[in-house]
Amino acid sequence: MTPVLHGISILTDSPTVVSARAGALEFLLANHALDCPVCDKAGECELQDMVHKYGPHKGRHTEKKFKFHEKDYALSPVIIKNSNRCVQCIKCARVCREVVGVNVLAAIGRGDHQEETSFFKTQLDCDHCGNCIEVCPVGCFMRLPYRYKARPWDLKGADTVCAYCATGCRMVMEHRDGTVLRARAQYGVGVNSETLCARGRFGFDYINSPERLTTPHVNRYGKLEAATWVEAFDYIKESLMGVSGDEFGGIVSPRYTNEEAYLFQKLVRDVFKSANVDSTSRWEASGVEAFAAAAGMNEGGVSVFDCMEADTVVVIGAQISDENPVTDYIIRRISAARKMNVIIVSPRAMKLDSSANLLLRVAPGAEGAVLNAVALSLVPDKTGGYAQTADIAKDMIDALVAKLKASASVAIIAGTEFLRHPESCAGLGFLKDSLKSSGKKVLILPALDRCNQRGVWEMGAHPGFGPGYAGVEKRGKGTHEMLEAAMDGGITSMYAAGVDIVSMFPDAQFAQKALMRLKFLIVQDTFMTETAKMAHVVLPGATFAEKEGFYTNQEGRAQIIRSLLPPPGKAKRDFDVIKAVGEIFDTGFGPKNPALALDEMRKTNPMYRDASLAFNNKRNVDNKLDIKAALVKAADAAPPSVKCAPAAIAPKDDKYQFALMTGNHLFHSGMLSKRSVSLTGLLNSAVVEICPEDAVFYGLKPGAKVIVKGAHYEAVMTLTVRPGSKRGVAFIAENYQDCPVNRFFKKGAGTPQVAIRPCS
Amino acid sequence: MDKVLLKKLGDPEAHKIDNYVKAGGYKALGMALKMPPDNIIQAVKDSGLRGRGGAGFSTGLKWSFIPKDPTIKKFLCCNADEGEPGTFKDRGIIDWDPHLLIEGMIIASYAIGAAKSYIYIRGEFALGAARLDAAIKEAYAKGYLGPNVMGTGFNHDMFVHRGFGAYICGEETALLESIEGFRAQPRKKPPFPALAGLYSKPTVINNVETLSCIPAIIERGAKWFSSIGPEKSPGPKIFCVSGHVKKPGLYELPMGTTLREIIFNHAGGMLTEKPLKAVIPGGVSAPMLTEKDLDTSMDFDSLAAKGTMLGSGAVVVMDSSACMVKTAYIINRFFSHESCGKCTPCRDGTPWLTNILMRLEHGEGKQGDVELLEGLCANIFGRTFCPLGDGAVMALRGALKNFRNEFEYHAKTGRCLG
Ligand SMILES: Cc1cc2nc3c(=O)[nH]c(=O)nc-3n(C[C@H](O)[C@H](O)[C@H](O)COP(=O)(O)O)c2cc1C
Ligand code: SF4
Ligand code: SF4
Ligand code: SF4
């Protein structure tokens, strides 16, 4: 082997190179199936391209070919395999082990009989991310949902961003004759380069769903009925004329574009003169402020790649491997290649644990206490204040402190647990300050689970701050307070744009009751959600594949999304819908289109003053994935500092052995992914996850049906175990229709406790 | 020459430590542990010992590449994978005289500063592995292994690692991968194992026979060793003679003994009246020689000058009844079966060669097959990741060079010549 050295000259076209290249290609074709006419990859196959370019154009191989198998076999509900086309590059097995970290693929056998597959070729118990498909240069690993559906040249594509989590993976979506068929990543493009997770790669098919809303609906006479836009707008005009000020509230989805969120908060604030605007129904507005302040989100974007250059990375309060899979890949890939600490603090085990050199298993909501204890040990004159951390072994805290002390730079990746338990945010801020005062470089990266959560906050869709975290004259109500006000008649009308409050608010019953009291409810969405069913007017919106605009990912990277298709039927782009609603009451309402909205943002929001959509869809020349120019700048203002009181702790009740944790499942994100055929094929009905020790202790069988019983709700679901998780913790994802986990919650009652027992 | 390596061959009690010590065993270790490590390396260099695993690289030089920094962990690995067809010399040492190897390994480990060593033994060698396990246990009990070896403060642990039946595990870096628990495929070099070997630490990999020479070098001196055989490749050498001879078996002779002497003086001459047709001098990757080359001195350089190699010292003798097409087919089938699959020319090229040879052998040859074989050889040779692919081509080219007419006859008539 000749190592590449500085100044070496490499001939790529000498006779030896030309013959070696053609020779290798001839060998690759010797046993290749050569079934291009029926191969999904034909037309974008690296082997085809190479042979076309470098020959040989005449075959000498006349021997009988070796065949691995006669028929392709499915390795998963979304992955199918044909080994007869393999060129043995082993990229599939390597991406599986080195990037995704699941180790289910390997080269089995030897020589020309070596096959990259799983043991016994059975269905994989894997992440179903399909990165093996993406890296396979030929047609061995293939998407099952895409099989025989199109040729690459039949497809029309748009370069866009995944709309599930806030990792913000860049991808190309492709459709044939109006049906979206494929999402694929591109090597060297985006933070994700060629990788995606199962949601990103397979979860887009809800766009094609026949259940999409294609026309407005109006409920005038006790029943929702299809209507025209004119009828819908007339009804809104009649019902909301004169409604103004605190009587009105609006909530916008963290999956809406920045332009849409910006316009929406303007609609609420300027047209309805109300301060009540929020962007999620899952967590309290004050928690968001505390989190944004502690994480220093107003200080501008923080690149995940910069974080990975730190001596120590602490992942805390984030189910990274399940909620932000590609962020997990980035951490795994980079941390394996350099000397650094990866420390994980969480109640549940996760795939990334294997990359960590220190694991702290803590009780749900204990993140803040850990951070406090650590920060106290860092400040020299205040050592030893561990009072609040009775649950965490002192030696673990000491180990964490030792690692931090030995590091010149520290990156903290802080996730949504801080929003579920906002009292933890104080600890985060405290640790940041302590690290800074001991002279260390500190970066905090928020890990968020909705594609534009950060963006909608920075657009000012929040009751406590305006665009760019600017202060507001009068603090408005967040979702929680709006619902409370609706209950007692303080709020009479609401506009829910893209949010399904009933399914997501942590106390489903309360949300439903509150919404029922409203005089008028507008819901704008792509499906008839539980909340839409309660609306007076339902406005059909668009998915991310049907609009133009941009998202800001968790790092603060502003990234353009592009429209692939028009919205179905009479549905409209959400920007146009919000604008039209505004124009009912003020014909001058605007900006009038997304481009003008961006212009206005650039002028008024310092974080976005340089936001440009031009640079960030190009491939980088030097294959660096980190386009710093896309990061948002620092704001002039800071989110108001609020101190969140610890949530009420439900009194220990021996009836309930488990503390309930929620979050997103690896295959799901909110309720949207439940509309994806591929993702529901991977997992459809509810599962509850505990650690194996608890399963043994309580005599529960993994895979069996169990009854999960809380104080307010009980449901039957399947039990799974996750080795390495904390005892006494049960996890149920918030994504199941058959078990809306928010029904376990009682407003103001804190973390629910549940009991699990076998189904008799 | 008195025997150094095979003196216990056939002695059913020799493998026990008491008998080994009684016969003067572990004396060399005692001497070595009193020497500064660098002096041992120098002695091995001076002895002129060259690796018996095939490539013939100077053993002392290899050891001297290991960094001297005592804070860096180092390893010694003994290559006992002995997979080359026709080779059974290492087994002769392991089965009958395991302590000789162990003593050599402890000395080598001390010289390079390794606290741990591994013996990677071919999976089929059940008896050998059991003997080694038992011998290591004995050595621990007697204080030759473990903490504070022979009261000198040197600590050493030794492990036996069994292979699972892949020839490629004999390639030194594939061997390391296999010990680490990965799939055995060669690593890229550089970095060489001397800098980043087992678990990325500096590592020496030596053949069983190489390491078994060490005690004698320490005991009798480098001068004595280098006085045996040719100046550039001195020392005793075990030849594994098989094929059409009267007395196939292991012969420990001075390096540089001629082929003629080995076959006719030691191995009892040809099996029948049939004349010698071809002889493979150093395992099946070594191109074959013919009658006219019988006076070649069997050492690294003389054989290289003849376009072949000493390799593992496996001498395979064939008389006129052997069909060269069939021989080439069988040898090639071995390589294609053992190709690890990492690089394209070897993985897909050697089975293609095998298929053509199989057709030729079965009377289904075609016009142009010989040229195709040559063309494919050219596309494989020098373009593979490790020497296995090259070895396959070298063997086939040797047969084609000397016996092209037999291949052409097969292609034309479907039958053997003569
Ligand atoms: C395909 C292949 C197989 C090999 N098999 C063996 C083997 O079975 N035993 C061995 O000692 N060396 C074998 N070698 C040589 C080793 O790679 C290495 O050179 C040798 O163990 C070094 O020891 P030495 O310096 O004592 O000769 C093989 C090399 C290759 C390329
Ligand atoms: S990526 Fe594709 S071509 Fe490469 S080894 Fe895997 S299956 Fe074969
Ligand atoms: S990691 Fe997040 S952004 Fe990336 S593909 Fe998965 S869901 Fe989409
Ligand atoms: S030459 Fe053969 S054995 Fe060696 S690395 Fe290549 S495929 Fe593997």
Cα(B283) to ligand 1 centroid in Å equals 12
Could you tell me the CA-to-CA distances from A157 to A133, A176, A178, A675 in Å, in that order? Answer: 18, 9, 11, 22
- Collapse the DSSP code of B234 into the 3-class scheme (helix H, G, I; strand E, B; otherwise coil) and give the result: coil
Residues of chain A contacting residue B188, judged by C-beta atoms under 8 Å apart: 1
Pick the CATH number of B17-226 from 3.40.50.11540, 3.40.190.10, 2.60.40.420, 3.30.428.10: 3.40.50.11540
Would the pLDDT of A448 be above 70?
A: yes
In whole angstroms, give the CA distance from residue B345 to residue A21. 10
Between A1, A23, A107, which is nearest B345 by CB?
A23
Higher pLDDT among residues A613 and A49, named by residue:
A49
Domain B324-413 indexed as CATH 1.20.1440.230:
yes
With a CB cutoff of 8 Å and minimum separation 6, the contacts of A555 are A168, A191, A301, A302, A303, A304, A445, A631
* Cβ atoms within 10 Å, residue B229: 22
Which atom from ligand 1 is nearest to the alpha carbon of B52?
27
In whole angstroms, give the CA distance from residue B270 to residue A222. 107
Return the residue whose CA atom lies nearest to atom 5 of ligand 3. Answer: A200
Average pLDDT over residues B203-209: 98
Report the pLDDT value the prediction gives residue A487, as an integer from 0 to 100: 96
**Nearest residue in A to B186, CA atom:** A1
Average pLDDT over residues A42-50: 97
Query: Mind listing the pLDDT tens digit for each residue in A123-150?
Result: 878 999 999 999 999 999 999 999 999 9
Q: What's chain A's average pLDDT?
A: 93
**Nearest residue in A to B185, CA atom:** A110
Report which of A103, A138, A127 is spatially closest to residue B183, judged by C-alpha positions.
Answer: A103
Query: Mind listing the pLDDT tens digit for each residue in A65-109?
Result: 999 999 999 999 999 999 999 999 999 999 999 999 998 999 999
A174 bridge partner residues: A157, A182
E-only strand ranges, B257-331: 276-280, 314-319
Alpha-carbon gap: B395 to the closest alpha carbon of chain A (Å):
19
Query: Mind listing the pLDDT tens digit for each residue in B334-387?
Result: 999 999 999 999 999 999 999 999 999 999 999 999 999 999 999 999 999 999
Average pLDDT over residues A254-259: 97
Under an 8 A CB cutoff, do A61 and B339 touch?
no
Average pLDDT over residues B130-152: 97
DSSP string, A534-573: G-SEEEE---GGG--EEEE-TT-BEEEE---SPPSTT---
Between B190, B341, B385, which is nearest A111 by CB?
B341
Token duo for residue B312:
């593992």
Average pLDDT over residues B84-103: 97
Scan for tokens 């895979």, then name that residue: A703
In whole angstroms, give the CA distance from residue A599 to residue A682. 42
Q: Find the helix or strand (DSSP H, E) in which B331 lies.
A: helix B324-338
Report the pLDDT value the prediction gives residue A193, as an integer from 0 to 100: 92
DSSP string, A479-506: HHHHHHHHHTTS--EEEEES--HHHHSS
In whole angstroms, give the CA distance from residue B389 to residue A519. 81
Would the pLDDT of A112 be above 90?
A: yes
Here the ipTM equals 0.94
Average pLDDT over residues A44-49: 97
In whole angstroms, give the CA distance from residue A214 to residue B162. 67
Q: What DSSP character marks residue B281?
A: S
Per cent of chain A over pLDDT 90 is: 86
pLDDT band for position A382 (cuts 50, 70, 90): low
Report the pLDDT value the prediction gives residue A453, as an integer from 0 to 100: 97
Average pLDDT over residues A12-40: 95
Report the pLDDT value the prediction gives residue A387, as an integer from 0 to 100: 47
Cα(A553) to ligand 3 centroid in Å equals 11
Report the pLDDT value the prediction gives residue A622, as an integer from 0 to 100: 63
Token duo for residue A20:
């070696």
Average pLDDT over residues A648-652: 67
Would the pLDDT of B298 be above 90?
A: yes
Residues of chain B contacting residue A24, judged by C-beta atoms under 8 Å apart: 344-345, 379, 383
* Cβ atoms within 10 Å, residue A649: 11
Under an 8 A CB cutoff, do A112 and B189 touch?
no
Per cent of chain B over pLDDT 70 is: 100
For ligand 3, say whether the CB of A162 is within 6 Å of any of its atoms: yes
Average pLDDT over residues B289-294: 96
Under an 8 A CB cutoff, do A110 and B190 touch?
no
With a CB cutoff of 8 Å and minimum separation 6, the contacts of A367 are A316, A317, A345, A417, A418, A421, A424, A427, A428
In whole angstroms, give the CA distance from residue A125 to residue A298. 41
Measured N-to-C along each axis, helices A15-30 and A46-54 cross at an angle, to the nearest 10 degrees, of 130
Residues of chain B contacting residue A114, judged by C-beta atoms under 8 Å apart: 341, 347
B250 bridge partner residues: B240
Average pLDDT over residues B205-210: 98
Per cent of chain B over pLDDT 90 is: 99
**A278-A284-A286 Cα angle (round to 5):** 90
A586 in B contact zone (CB under 8 Å) = no
Report the pLDDT value the prediction gives residue A616, as an integer from 0 to 100: 62
Could you tell me the CA-to-CA distances from A753 to A423, A649, A653, A696, A738 in Å, in that order? Answer: 19, 10, 8, 19, 20
Query: Mind listing the pLDDT tens digit for each residue in A501-513?
Result: 999 999 999 999 9
| Domain boundaries defined on chain B | 17-226, 236-319, 324-413
Burial (CB < 10 A; 0-12, 13-18, 19+), residue A588, is exposed
Average pLDDT over residues A490-515: 96
Average pLDDT over residues A219-226: 94
For ligand 3, say whether the CB of A161 is within 6 Å of any of its atoms: no
Number of H helices, E strands in chain B: 17, 8
B234 in the Ramachandran plot: left (φ > 0), alpha (ψ -120 to 50) or beta? Answer: beta
Would the pLDDT of B131 be above 80?
A: yes
With a CB cutoff of 8 Å and minimum separation 6, the contacts of A588 are none
Cα(A107) to ligand 2 centroid in Å equals 9
Under an 8 A CB cutoff, do A110 and B359 touch?
no
Report the pLDDT value the prediction gives residue B148, as an integer from 0 to 100: 96
Would the pLDDT of A175 be above 70?
A: yes
* Cβ atoms B411, B301 nearer than 8 A: no
* Cβ atoms B113, B243 nearer than 8 A: no
Report the pLDDT value the prediction gives residue A617, as an integer from 0 to 100: 58
A119 in B contact zone (CB under 8 Å) = no
Which atom from ligand 4 is nearest to the alpha carbon of B350?
2
In whole angstroms, give the CA distance from residue A639 to residue A623. 36
Under CATH, which number does the domain B236-319 receive? Answer: 3.10.20.600
Would the pLDDT of A373 be above 70?
A: yes
Which atom from ligand 3 is nearest to the alpha carbon of A326?
1
- Alpha carbon B202 to its chain centroid, in Å, reads 22
Under an 8 A CB cutoff, do B349 and A63 touch?
no
Q: Amino acid letter at B56? A: G
Report which of A192, A452, A205, A164 is spatially closest to residue A323, judged by C-alpha positions.
Answer: A164
In whole angstroms, give the CA distance from residue A247 to residue A486. 9
**B322-B324-B325 Cα angle (round to 5):** 125
pLDDT band for position A386 (cuts 50, 70, 90): very low
**Nearest residue in A to B346, CA atom:** A111
Among all bound ligands, the one having the nearest atom to the CA of A112 is 4
Please state the φ and ψ torsions of residue B352, each to the nearest 5 degrees: -65, -45
In whole angstroms, give the CA distance from residue A98 to residue A755. 38
Parallel/antiparallel/unpaired status of strands A687-690 and A729-733: antiparallel
Parallel/antiparallel/unpaired status of strands A170-176 and A179-184: antiparallel
Report which of A51, A73, A67, A78 is spatially closest to residue A132, judged by C-alpha positions.
Answer: A78
* Cβ atoms A710, A752 nearer than 8 A: yes
Under an 8 A CB cutoff, do A27 and B166 touch?
no
Under an 8 A CB cutoff, do A63 and B355 touch?
yes
Among all bound ligands, the one having the nearest atom to the CA of B194 is 1
Would the pLDDT of A390 be above 60?
A: no
pLDDT band for position A383 (cuts 50, 70, 90): very low
In whole angstroms, give the CA distance from residue A659 to residue A755. 9
Residues of B with CB under 8 A from a CB of A: 166, 168, 183, 188-190, 336-341, 344-345, 347-352, 355-356, 359, 372, 375, 378-380, 383, 385
Return the residue whose CA atom lies nearest to atom 20 of ligand 1. Answer: B53
Among A57-71, A564-578, B91-105, the range scoring the smallest mean pLDDT is: A57-71
For the whole model, what pTM was predicted? 0.93
Would the pLDDT of A381 be above 60?
A: no
Among all bound ligands, the one having the nearest atom to the CA of A138 is 2
Would the pLDDT of A618 be above 70?
A: no
